[in-house]
Amino acid sequence: MSKYTMPDDNQLQNNGQASFTVFGVGGGGGNAVEHMVQQGIRGVTFVCANTDKQALDRLTAPHKLQLGAKTNRGLGAGANPEVGREAAESDEEAIRALLEHSDMVFITAGMGGGTGTGAAPVVARIAKEMEVLTVAVVTTPFKFEGGKRIKAAKAGIEQLTNFVDSIITIPNDKLMSVYGNISMQDAFKKADDVLLHAVQGIAETIASEGMINIDFNDIRTAMTAKGHAMMGIGRASGDDRARQATEKAIRSPLLDDLRLENAKGLLVNVISSESLSLDEMSKISVIVEEITDIDEAHIFYGSVIDEKMGDDLHVTVIATGLTLDENAGEEPEVVEQPVPSVNSTQPVDPNLHTSALNSQKQSQAQYQENPIRSNTVPEQTKTKTNSIQDYLKRQQNK
């Protein structure tokens, strides 16, 4: 795909296009922003905020904010989220000023430490008060980092979800399991790429004119669905490119624990040359509808013509309002096991952000008519299973 360059900040504010801010909080968030800055992405306001002055000084982002400078003297939060929270609250007006002209903000942080865990929810709260569309992109700790850090990350994410419109959670352990024995640096780069592709994909979808356009209000409708969100990208060429690209997009390794049939919002953007046919668009929509409840979800399709694509076809899928698949990666018999504690080493805790799930489990008898929620109704009684893995298995058996 050709390199995409967004317009400058002043152009965005004057030509009616949406204004984007990427706000990195803490060390992990700052590194993610730095990755985007190094890629030369323009037209986005980049902000890095940290309690650690030395870490902040190493970054090249144009806007940097030292949190709690008067209280902790730039020495960091000492892995204490409370210190991070208090530092952010002490600089609330500065944060507000940095978000003043934003239509949409991506808040990125590594959860489990002090600054990211404690300060990111403060930034999200301020953005919500300013009515800025807010998406969080956060990572969870590796298992070897210990139960205390994992517990802190889960608590921070729970606070964060009270204020954001959608949240993309990237389990570091899953990155390692998917990509094998790669270096730590490469593993973190994979996580940083998720943020880069999310920002670039959404911005490109809005800014590019095509046969079928998605505008910022479509993005807002989809992203305000609340809950988990995920993004997948697929690219293919040849006679079967539509199917291959779409399946690559929905086969994102970070989607394994999410159930797309419960998606409340879905954005599907296709980039190709003028060779894109109606039959190919139909194939893409059929695959999407195979795994989505089309009667309930807000589904937006976009199609952008770019002659530089040649024979390649590029599909971006952004799904929002998702729920976690409680049985992902487990054998059927474990459904009767209790919900994992906050010290569980599961990469994504099924209890995250879904407090209502506990009450549903405790009053199971009230929901016997729902085979998805009931432990006593076998899964095979469902007329159709819509998880990504189920869909791909059906394709393999054809």
Report the alpha-carbon distance of residue 16 to residue 31 in Å, rounded: 31
Is 108 contained in some domain?
A: yes
34 and 90 belong to one structural domain: yes
Mean pLDDT of the chain: 78
Looking at residue 396, its pLDDT comes to 54
105 and 64 belong to one structural domain: yes
More confident residue, 1 or 339: 339
More confident residue, 210 or 62: 62
> How many domains would you assign to the chain?
2
Looking at residue 1, its pLDDT comes to 31
Tell me which of 163, 185, 203 is where a domain ends.
203
Q: Domain of 246: which CATH number?
A: 3.30.1330.20
pLDDT band for 349, please (50, 70, 90 cuts).
very low
Looking at residue 109, its pLDDT comes to 96
DSSP code of 218?
H
Report the alpha-carbon distance of residue 152 to residue 343 in Å, rounded: 10
Give mean pLDDT, residues 279-304: 84
Is 340 contained in some domain?
A: no
More confident residue, 97 or 175: 97
Looking at residue 5, its pLDDT comes to 34
Confidence check: pLDDT of 385 > 50: no
254 and 161 belong to one structural domain: no
What residue numbers bound the domain in which 319 lies? 234-324+387-397
Is 154 contained in some domain?
A: yes
- Write out pLDDT tens, residues 45-72: 999 999 999 999 999 999 999 999 988 8
Confidence check: pLDDT of 369 > 70: no
Strands (E), 81-131: 104-110
Helices 115-129 and 147-160: angle between axes, nearest 10 degrees: 0
Tell me which of 186, 203, 220 is where a domain ends.
203
Confidence check: pLDDT of 379 > 50: no
36 and 158 belong to one structural domain: yes
Annotated binding site: 27-31, 114-116, 145, 149, 192
Report the alpha-carbon distance of residue 243 to residue 309 in Å, rounded: 17
Confidence check: pLDDT of 180 > 80: no
Is 34 contained in some domain?
A: yes
Check if the beta carbon of residue 245 is closer than 8 Å to that of residue 235.
yes
Looking at residue 351, its pLDDT comes to 45
Taking the CA atoms of residue 39, residue 56, residue 155 and residue 343 in that order, the dihedral angle to the nearest 10 degrees is 80
45 and 143 belong to one structural domain: yes
Tell me which of 157, 181, 203 is where a domain ends.
203
More confident residue, 268 or 23: 23
Looking at residue 2, its pLDDT comes to 29
Q: Please name the residue that has the structure tokens 């992405």.
A: 41
- For residue 344, the tally of other CB atoms under 10 A from its CB is 17
pLDDT band for 323, please (50, 70, 90 cuts).
confident
Looking at residue 87, its pLDDT comes to 96
Is 88 contained in some domain?
A: yes
Q: Domain of 121: which CATH number?
A: 3.40.50.1440
Report the alpha-carbon distance of residue 223 to residue 133 in Å, rounded: 8
More confident residue, 35 or 296: 35
Report the alpha-carbon distance of residue 328 to residue 62 in Å, rounded: 41
Is 228 contained in some domain?
A: no
CA distances from 170 to 173, 199, 257, 366 (A): 9, 15, 11, 34
263 and 176 belong to one structural domain: no
Report the alpha-carbon distance of residue 91 to residue 69 in Å, rounded: 9
61 and 150 belong to one structural domain: yes
Confidence check: pLDDT of 335 > 50: no
Give mean pLDDT, residues 204-223: 79
- Write out pLDDT tens, residues 5-27: 333 444 444 456 789 999 999 99
CB burial of 65-88 (b: ≥16 within 10 Å; e: otherwise) equals bbbbeeebebebbeebbebbbbbb
182 and 241 belong to one structural domain: no
Torsional class of 146: left (φ above 0), alpha (ψ -120 to 50), beta (otherwise): left
pLDDT band for 327, please (50, 70, 90 cuts).
low
150 and 256 belong to one structural domain: no
Report the alpha-carbon distance of residue 16 to residue 19 in Å, rounded: 9
Structure tokens at 132: 């800025």
60 and 137 belong to one structural domain: yes
pLDDT band for 213, please (50, 70, 90 cuts).
confident
Report the alpha-carbon distance of residue 117 to residue 77 in Å, rounded: 10
Annotated binding site for GTP: 27-31, 114-116, 145, 149, 192
Structure tokens at 109: 């942080």
190 and 239 belong to one structural domain: no
Is 329 contained in some domain?
A: no
Is 229 contained in some domain?
A: no
Report the alpha-carbon distance of residue 166 to residue 161 in Å, rounded: 8
DSSP 340-352: P-TT---SS-TTT
Q: Please name the residue that has the structure tokens 């293919």.
A: 236
Q: What is the pTM of this model?
A: 0.74
